[in-house]
A and B are shown apart, each in its own frame.
Chain A
Amino acid sequence: MEQEVLSANDVVRIDRRLLEIFVAETRRHLDAMRRGVVALRQDDLSKASLIWRGAHTIAGNAAMLDLRAFVEIASAVERLRGERSSDVARAAADWIVDAIDEMESLVNCIEIPASESRTLNLHPVPRPSRPAADA
């Protein structure tokens, strides 16, 4: 069932500002999450909370816009916070970096149209596939 309102299919179509905010806020949190990973590797678990806070906000924002790829990745990162052993989280640092890279790739694919009157493409634009060689 599609999100009815406050989501991609309604409000965003007439308010490109939402997309601009999402992109800017996501990039800001991804930068903070990278700092959090550095802290995690140095056993600074207090500063490592930047990872979980960023993932939480990105997941919540993306859910409101029905951008499910972001929700899945960010939620998976956020779930690591529940690990009782910090060893588990530290071991997952490389995986978290991969997740951050993937979300950064996705956010770079979002098109923000110049005009508010256009229908927005809220979902990441598939990268063009390499054309098949002529037979």
Chain B
Amino acid sequence: MRTKILIVDDSTLLHRMYAVALQTYERRAIEAVYASDGAEGLARLHEHPDVALILLDVNMPTMSGLEFLRQVRAMPSFADVRIVLQSTEDAEADVARGLAAGADGYLRKPFNRAELYALLDSLVS
């Protein structure tokens, strides 16, 4: 059975890097769904209500990651989905706001494959 992950990030490069890394994650099959901002992320989430984990960038156009997070956490139908923020080194304030708004954790950029896999092990395996 595949585990579905939603990746919300405005970087096409990050989309590609996740795709490459997830191909070699061995503990379980992962199906990734991608969005480029919070608004698109909400649309993808409604299309794929079985998403188990969302990897969420904070700084995005149209709708920020924090606004996306607040909206998802306000929807009872997605109460069980895990949400992990992707943050940069100098974005501690965003991380704190995200955790307060209901994020389950954060992944600091740049991260390596081992860190990504450890996150997947702890949240979706």
B88 CB contacts on chain A under 8 angstroms: 56, 59-60, 63
B114 CB within 8 Å of chain A: yes
Classify the secondary structure of A's interface with B: helix
Do A63 and B16 touch across chains, with their CB atoms under 8 A apart?
Answer: no
Of A2-10, A111-119, A127-135, the stretch lying at the interface with chain B is A2-10
B109 CB contacts on chain A under 8 angstroms: 60, 63-64
Q: Which of B100-125 contact A (CB under 8 A)?
A: 109-114, 116
- Count of residues in A whose CB is under 8 Å from the partner chain: 25
Of A17-25, A33-41, A101-109, the stretch lying at the interface with chain B is A17-25
State whether A64 and B17 are in contact (beta carbons under 8 Å apart), knowing that A4-B112, A53-B61 are contacts in the complex. Answer: yes
- Scan B1-38; emit 1 where CB is below 8 A from any A CB, else 0: 00000000011111011001100000000000000000
A121 CB contacts on chain B under 8 angstroms: none
Do A17 and B21 touch across chains, with their CB atoms under 8 A apart?
Answer: no
Chain A interfacial positions (CB closer than 8 Å to B)? 3-7, 10-11, 15, 17-18, 21-22, 25, 53, 56-57, 59-61, 63-66, 75, 79
